């Protein structure tokens, strides 16, 4: 049942392969009073549950410890005490102001003298202004603290300090048995005329690549396969979002304010290039109230992603693994809080499906508390086998963010059986990183003669091409 305005949120009719259509908001109804940088958020808007912070600060303290974070909960508690004291005083003054106001109006209307009240209120007003200023300082500090606190890990997340402590959950597929020394993808791709890093460096700089001919097409084919699979097999609605978004949007999903140096910003504007489609997709429902019957809402998008890779100097300098610009098919799920962990399993399976279709071996790992991203409550990484590098490399990361992003971006749903609006849970996952998948295809399907066999699943997208050779 639609709760309110039925035009605001709508389900698309589903269309069979190769086209599909699913739900998206035809028209967004924004809650004007819930906009991020308005006074609402200044009044102590929680990134974590404020009540939880107040009543059970030890839970947050514990969480921060698990993440090896140095953030001090006591700072928050001290600020909170200050804030409450100030609020009590300010609000008492404002209540007085509101009580006396009509009296002044009444006297003036009757032509009586109100100068005593005016004088008194002048003092009250001055005092209020003073306290308000103090209050906003405290609130700003508290907000800053809140914004820098990472999400609380789910209880099922393995404890650990670094990637060493991640746990492998399962392996899939058999590593190809190669009776020759496997090459790395950049060698194979360059030799076949498909990849050119030198020219890309001329055009832009390091960490860029150019694909030509078969390689460009192969990349497109992979993206197509991914989109078609996610939309037709797994119920995701394909979206083409903006590739640049504003600061507010970046804050909603947690990239800002903490990680600005990882982003590319368009100078002279408020625009940032998206580091992942998670940002625009999740924020589609920012400030919205979703009807419970609409859940889960599942979006996927094929977009370029831009990352400055600050802090990874010297890492993966060769090849396609770590680029400033790469393509990714991203999945986002707005889930009912009770079902988000099921949804995480589903989403991970949807990402795995792509590698299964390509018949490329991979493993799934559960990230430990110390290795998880800022907004994640639980994360699975899918690591694909790369014979050239002789190791598993991350090709997908699927996270349940719980209500962390929903709080920042103000995404709620209206339960059917209750009046109280609740935060949704948001999930995001790569399904998959296209560039790294291209690497995986090249390395796993390479032949002794330097050619690449096209995986069966990609042949329809490659115009029937069977093999790429010199």
Candidate segments 36-44, 170-178, 222-230, 397-405, binder of RNA by CB under 7 A:
36-44
Candidate segments 48-56, 64-72, 311-319, 360-368, binder of RNA by CB under 7 A:
48-56
Which residue in the set 10, 175, 202, 421 belongs to the binding site for RNA (CB under 7 A)?
Answer: 421
Which of the residues 122 through 151 are near RNA (CB under 7 A)? Answer: 122, 124-125
Q: Is-contact 291 413, C-beta < 8 A?
A: yes
CB of 244 to RNA, least distance (A): 12
Q: Is the Cβ of residue 170 or residue 420 nearer to RNA in the bound state?
A: 420
CA atoms within 13 A on the CB side of 47: 24
- Secondary structure (DSSP) of 112-128: ---HHHHHHHHHHHHHH
94 binds RNA (CB under 7 A): yes
Task: Find tokens 């839970």 and name the residue.
Answer: 59
Q: Is-contact 308 277, C-beta < 8 A?
A: no
112 binds RNA (CB under 7 A): no
Which residue in the set 16, 58, 70, 98 belongs to the binding site for RNA (CB under 7 A)?
Answer: 98
Which residue in the set 10, 11, 108, 127 belongs to the binding site for RNA (CB under 7 A)?
Answer: 108
Task: Find tokens 């069966």 and name the residue.
Answer: 456
Which residue in the set 26, 105, 233, 240 belongs to the binding site for RNA (CB under 7 A)?
Answer: 105
121 binds RNA (CB under 7 A): yes
Q: Is the Cβ of residue 32 or residue 315 nearer to RNA in the bound state?
A: 32
**CA 338 – CA 351 distance, rounded (Å):** 22
List own/partner pairs for 306-315 with CB under 8 A and 24 or more apart. Answer: 306/243, 306/263, 306/264, 306/273, 306/274, 306/275, 307/262, 307/263, 307/264, 307/275, 308/261, 308/262, 308/263, 308/264, 309/207, 309/262, 310/261, 310/262, 311/261, 311/262
289 binds RNA (CB under 7 A): yes
- Secondary structure (DSSP) of 17-36: TT-----B-SS----GGG-T
Candidate segments 32-40, 214-222, 327-335, 440-448, binder of RNA by CB under 7 A:
32-40
- The encoded tokens of residue 74 equal 């006591």
User: Using CB under 7 A as the criterion, which residues of the chain lie in contact with RNA when the complex forms?
Assistant: 1, 3-5, 8, 29-35, 37-40, 42-46, 50-51, 54, 84, 87-88, 90-92, 94-95, 97-99, 101-102, 104-105, 108, 118, 121-122, 124-125, 289, 419-421
């Amino acid at each position: 049942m639609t709760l309110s305005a039925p035009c605001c949120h709508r389900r698309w009719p589903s269309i069979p392969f190769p086209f599909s259509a699913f739900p998206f908001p035809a028209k967004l109804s924004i809650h004007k009073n819930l906009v991020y940088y308005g006074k609402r958020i200044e009044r102590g808007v929680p990134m974590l549950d404020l009540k939880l912070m107040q009543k059970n600060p030890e839970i947050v303290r514990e969480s921060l410890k698990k993440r090896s974070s140095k953030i001090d909960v006591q700072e928050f508690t001290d600020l909170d005490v200050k804030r409450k004291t100030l609020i009590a005083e300010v609000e008492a003054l404002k209540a007085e102001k509101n009580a006396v106001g009509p009296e002044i109006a009444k006297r003036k209307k009757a032509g009586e003298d109100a100068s005593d009240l005016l004088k008194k209120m002048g003092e009250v007003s001055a005092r209020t202004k003073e306290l308000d200023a103090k209050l906003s300082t405290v609130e700003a500090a508290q907000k800053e603290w809140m914004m820098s606190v990472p999400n609380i890990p789910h209880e099922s997340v393995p404890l650990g300090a670094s990637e060493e402590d991640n746990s492998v959950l399962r392996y899939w597929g058999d590593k190809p048995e190669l009776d020759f020394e496997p090459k790395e993808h950049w060698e194979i791709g360059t030799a076949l005329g498909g990849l050119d890093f030198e020219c890309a460096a001329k055009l832009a700089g390091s960490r860029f690549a150019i694909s030509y001919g078969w390689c460009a097409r192969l990349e497109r084919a992979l993206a197509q396969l991914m989109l078609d699979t996610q939309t037709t097999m797994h119920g995701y609605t394909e979206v083409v979002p903006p590739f640049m978004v504003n600061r507010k949007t970046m804050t909603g999903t947690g990239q800002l304010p903490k990680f600005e140096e990882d982003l590319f910003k368009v100078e002279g504007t408020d625009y940032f290039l998206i580091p992942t489609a998670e940002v625009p997709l999740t924020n589609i429902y920012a400030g919205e109230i979703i009807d419970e019957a609409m859940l889960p809402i599942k979006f996927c998008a094929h977009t370029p992603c831009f990352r400055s890779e600050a802090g990874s100097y010297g890492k993966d300098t060769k090849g396609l693994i770590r680029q400033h610009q790469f393509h990714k098919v991203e999945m986002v799920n707005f889930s009912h809080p009770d079902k988000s962990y099921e949804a995480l399993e589903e989403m991970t399976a949807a990402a795995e499906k792509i590698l299964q279709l390509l018949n490329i071996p991979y493993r799934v790992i559960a990230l430990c508390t110390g290795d998880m991203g800022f907004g994640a409550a639980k994360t699975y990484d899918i690591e694909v086998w790369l014979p050239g590098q002789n190791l598993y490399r991350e090709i997908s990361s699927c996270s349940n963010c719980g209500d962390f992003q929903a709080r920042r971006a103000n995404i709620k749903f209206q339960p059917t059986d209750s009046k109280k609006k609740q935060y949704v849970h948001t999930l995001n996952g790569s399904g998959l990183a296209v560039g790294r998948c291209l690497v995986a295809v090249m390395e796993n399907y390479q032949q002794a003669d330097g050619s690449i066999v096209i995986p069966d699943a990609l042949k329809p997208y490659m115009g029937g091409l069977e093999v790429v050779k010199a």
